[in-house]
Structure 1
Amino acid sequence: MKIIEEVGWRGKWSLLMMVCLTMANLVWSEAVPVWSEKTPVRKFLALDPGIQLNSKEHDKIIIDNGILQITFSKPDGLIIGIKYNGIENVLDDANTIDDRGYWDIVWYEPNTPLKIDKIEGTQFRVVTQNEDQIEISFSRTWNQSNLGSQVPLNVDKRYKLFLKMFTSTHYTGKEVDTEYRNGETWKKVFGPVFVYLNSQSRQSPEQSNKNLWEDAKRQMVREVQSWPYDFVESEDFPRAEERGTVAGQLQVLDRYINAKIILPRFASVGLAAPGETGSWQTEAKGYQFWTQTDNRGYFTINNIRPGTYNLYAWVPGFIGDYKYNVDIQIDPGRTIKLGSLVYQPPRNGPTMWEIGIPDRTAGEFYIPDPYPTLMNGLPATNYNNKFRQYGLWNRYTDLYPNEDLTYTIGECDYSEDWFFAQVNRYNIWNTYCFFANICIYICMYIMIKVYNHLKVRINKPVREAPEFSTGLIGRDNAIARHGIHGLYKLYRIDVKSNLLVRGKNIIYLRQSRSAGQFQGLMYDYIRLEEPPRT
Structure 2
Amino acid sequence: MVDGRRRRSLQFWWLMFWANITLLHSCLEQREGVARGVALASAPAVKLLVEDDQVIMQNGIVKLTLSTPKGRVLGISYNGVENLLETRHHEKYRGYWDLVWGRHETTDLLEATRYNVVMETEDQVEISFTRKWNVSLGHRMAPLNVDKRFVTLRGSPGFYTYAVLERPNRAPAFDLKELRVVLKLESDKFHYMAISDRKQRLMPMPEDRRTGRKLDYSEAVLLTKPINPQFKGEVDDKYFYSVDNIANRVYGWVRSDPSIGFWMITPSDEFRTGGPFKQDLTTHVGPNLLNMFVSGHYAGDDLALKFKNGEAWKKVFGPVFVYLNSHNNSKNTPYSLLWNDAKQQMLNEVLKWPYTFPHSPDFVKPYKRARVSGQILVHDWYSF
Pair member with larger Rg: 1
- Per the normalisation by structure 2, the TM-score is 0.50
The structure showing larger relative contact order (alpha-carbon pairs under 8 Å, at least 6 residues apart) is: 2
